[in-house]
Each structure stands twice: as structure tokens, then as C-alpha cells.
Structure 1
Amino acid sequence: MTIFFLLRHAAHDNLGRFLAGRSANVSLGAQGRAQALRLGARMRQEGCDAIFSSPSERTRETAQAVSVACAIGPVTVRGELDEIDFGPWSGKTFAELNNDPNWRHWNSRRDIAVTPAGESMADARRRVCDFMEDLAQEFPQGRMALVSHADVIKSVICHVLGLSADRCFRFDIQPASVSVVTMGETEPRLLRLNETV
């Protein structure tokens, strides 16, 4: 079986104030850089074989800190790990979004709703889980670190637990957290959820 360490990126300075989405130039703040270093120290105990990152700046910075701490080697950037494509919602404050009925629909019906860009939680789950299944075939005893985003990680956890995407609000994925799942010879399993450093 392959072990996957699902790492959420560390905090940027405006976390919780606006929807970063796929916006460019959203980098880690001072707190986030410190979190990434602690995450790297934490992951050093796990003995990962490889590390993959979403294309976003904040995930690449987090992945680089983990890679250096663990001496894993270069970070491989993969689009499958990218944030959900929120289209024109990206960059808007949550106060602005809360006035949009489509945003409210997205948050109340994650099982069927799509973003303005046309992506759903199911789309995100499919692309990430397909990528993980490919890695599990290529590295059947591997220990892979995947640095991504809260909703993307939530989509994987919901898949592993057989939950509807609507249930994603029943658990948290904090910045610089570690969740661990296995894939491969048996049914996917959740081993740890939202461990923070």
C-alpha cells in the first residue's frame, strides 16, 4: 500500500479574509513561513520518498520547506493538486461572497454545486484521486507528501470515507496540517486527520 501525507499549505497573511483560490502572488506570511518550518520538522520523522505540490505560490513555498527539512529532493509541481478553480470568485473577500446567492448555494450543496469556472468538488476529487491512484501503482510501497489546499484535501477525505461532498464541513483542514491516507492493495483508509504543528 502507498501512504499519502496530505499537507495543507501554511498560512498567508490574509487567510480567512478573502478567497485566494488560484490568484497569483499569494505567498506565505511570517506566520506561514514559521508554520512551514515546523511542518518540515514534523515531516522529517515520516521518511517520505517524494514530494508533490500544487502550482500555487503558497503551496510551493510550503513544499520547499518540507523538502529541505526532509532532504527528499526537488518538489514536483502537479496541476492535479491545484486549488478548486473558483473563477471570478478568486480574490473576493468573504464579505463580498456572502452576498452572492451562487456562493451560498456552493456552500450548502457541495454535492451538486459548481463554481463560476464550472468545477465541482467531484471534479477536484476525481483529478486528485486519479493522480494518487497512479502514484500508488508506480510506488506501491511509497510514502508520498502531497501539498495542496483545504477543499482539495477535504474532497479526498470525503472520498476515502465514502461521504458526500456536503459533509466536508464536518471536519477541518487547518493550515500546515497533516492528514494521512493509504491507497493500493485494499480499500483506501484514513489513518490521521488534520494534525497541526
Structure 2
Amino acid sequence: MATVILVRHGRSSANTSGVLAGRTGGVRLDETGAEQALRAATRLAHVPLAAVVSSPLERCRQTARRITDAQPSGLRLRTDRGIVECDYGEWTGRPIKELAKEKLWGAVQQQPSAAAFPGGESLLAMQARSVAAVRRLDAEVASEHGDDAVWAAVSHGDIIKSVLADALGMHLDLFQRIHVDPASISIVRFTSTRPFVLGTNTHDGDLAWLAPTRKKRSRRRTDAVVGGGAGPE
């Protein structure tokens, strides 16, 4: 299996206006969000990505294009509906401060596995299809480029949190403990034994250590190192 870099889209106009955008079309990055996306792309410029896959929504595609632009020419941007934003149904487009007064808000915060959005999907269904999509895409990348391949998935906050929760072996009811900021980078390495979470919600730092080398290929581990190991070179 390969390594996936989970990138949340940069800050959008809906984020700053306090509205739950959901799958609403035409929601774009604001000026700060564009700068955040560029910073994430710069961090990834020294990591040879085998693929970049984006949620079909515009704010994610804008972010993903900056990542592909920073890579060597020829890397094609793909989209996949498996990592699209949660379908918030009747909550879509409403102010967050208004939604916080709804009875369902408590379930979303304290027992997400029991929360289903009216006219939309449940958080449990969201996690199931996003995890399945990431694992399917990861297997495709590994099959084509090898187990040392690194690829990026550009998606949304709740989607990334649910994937991280699965990788950490956490019940969905605990996923609100995970924080994923706009344009942050989280990293999961899938293996035949278990996923390894290499980073969550990072904003800065050199990621060149993710680039595969011959030495790394020969020493790739699928078991945890007791005591923590020596780390990347």
C-alpha cells in the first residue's frame, strides 16, 4: 500500500461568512485561502507525487491545481466523488450559529455515529464511503507506482477527520477530537498490517523526507518499531 497526503482545501468565502457550504456550487477560495493553498503546494513541491485526487467541489479543485502546478509537468488532476463533502441536506447553506441551536447539533458533537442530516447523509455513511474511496485510490496508486508511492487527496474537514479517525482506530464518536484546519496537511501510510498516521493538521515544515529512496524501499516496515525507532533520515 502507499502513503496518502490528506490536504484540506484553503479557506473559502463560506468559512469566513460562517455558513455551512456543504456541496453548494461556486464556493471559492478567498484571498487568504489561495495563499494557504500555495503554501501547502510549496511544502509538497519536493515530494514526487504519483497522483493528486480532488473532491469535485471548486474550492478543493482550486487547492489541488496549485499542488499539481508545483509538481513536474504531466501530473494530471483527478476528481473522485468518494471524497466529496458530506451531504448536509437541509443544513446546507445555513449559518453555523443558527445550526448550533438545533437539537441535532448535540448529536453531531457528542455522538456523531447517530447523526443523520435531514435530507442528506449520516456521518456514519460519510465515513464509510470516504474511507472506502481513500483505500481504493491508495490501492490503485500502489498497484501502478509501487508501495513506496506518495499521493495527495484534497478534500474537506469532516472527510479528512473521518479518514484519520479510521486510521487511528478511533470510533466515529471520537472524531470531533481531531482538528483539521484549512490547507493543513495530514499523512497516513497504509500497509498490509495497519495504517500508520505520520502527521495531522500540519501547517509548516519540510516534507522532502516523504520522497521514496532506494534505501527506504529496502527497509520499508509494516510493523511498529518498539521504542519508536530512529525516524526518517
Give the TM bin, normalised by the shorter chain.
over 0.9
Give the alignment's TM-score, normalised by structure 2: 0.80
Name the structure 1 match of 2:34. Answer: 33
User: Runs of 4 or more off by more than 3 Å in structure 1?
Assistant: none
Q: Kindly tell me: are residues 117 and 184 of structure 1, through their superposed partners in 2, closer, same or farther at Cα, counting changes over 3 Å? A: farther
Provide the C-alpha distance between the structure 1 equivalents of 2:138 and 2:32, rounded to a whole number of angstroms: 34
Q: Does 1:156 align with 2:163?
A: yes
Offset of residue 196 of structure 1: 1.2
Name the structure 2 match of 1:47. Answer: 48
Is the 8 Å Cα contact of residues 89 and 121 (structure 2) preserved in structure 1? no
Provide the C-alpha distance between the structure 1 equivalents of 2:192 and 2:90, rounded to a whole number of angstroms: 41
Q: Does 1:15 align with 2:15?
A: yes
Give the alignment's TM-score, normalised by structure 1: 0.93
Identify unmatched segments of 5+ residues in structure 2: 205-233
Q: Does 1:177 align with 2:178?
A: no
Provide the C-alpha distance between the structure 1 equivalents of 2:46 and 2:193, rounded to a whole number of angstroms: 25
Name the structure 2 match of 1:2. Answer: 2
Alignment match of 2:152 (pick from 137, 145, 155): 145
Is the 8 Å Cα contact of residues 107 and 114 (structure 2) preserved in structure 1? no
Is the 8 Å Cα contact of residues 53 and 146 (structure 1) preserved in structure 2? yes
Name the structure 1 match of 2:63. Answer: 62
Offset of residue 118 of structure 1: 4.2
Name the structure 1 match of 2:223. Answer: none
Aligned residue for 1:42, secondary structure, equals: helix
Name the structure 2 match of 1:90. Answer: 92
Give the % identical residues.
Answer: 32
**Paired residue total:** 197
Offset of residue 131 of structure 1: 1.9
Deviation per CA, 1:118-152: give whole Å up to 9, x if none: 42222122212222222333232221100000100
Provide the C-alpha distance between the structure 2 equivalents of 1:117 and 1:183, rounded to a whole number of angstroms: 34
Is the 8 Å Cα contact of residues 64 and 75 (structure 1) preserved in structure 2? yes
Is the 8 Å Cα contact of residues 122 and 155 (structure 1) preserved in structure 2? no
Q: Kindly tell me: are residues 121 and 189 of structure 1, through their superposed partners in 2, closer, same or farther at Cα, counting changes over 3 Å? A: farther
RMSD: 1.5
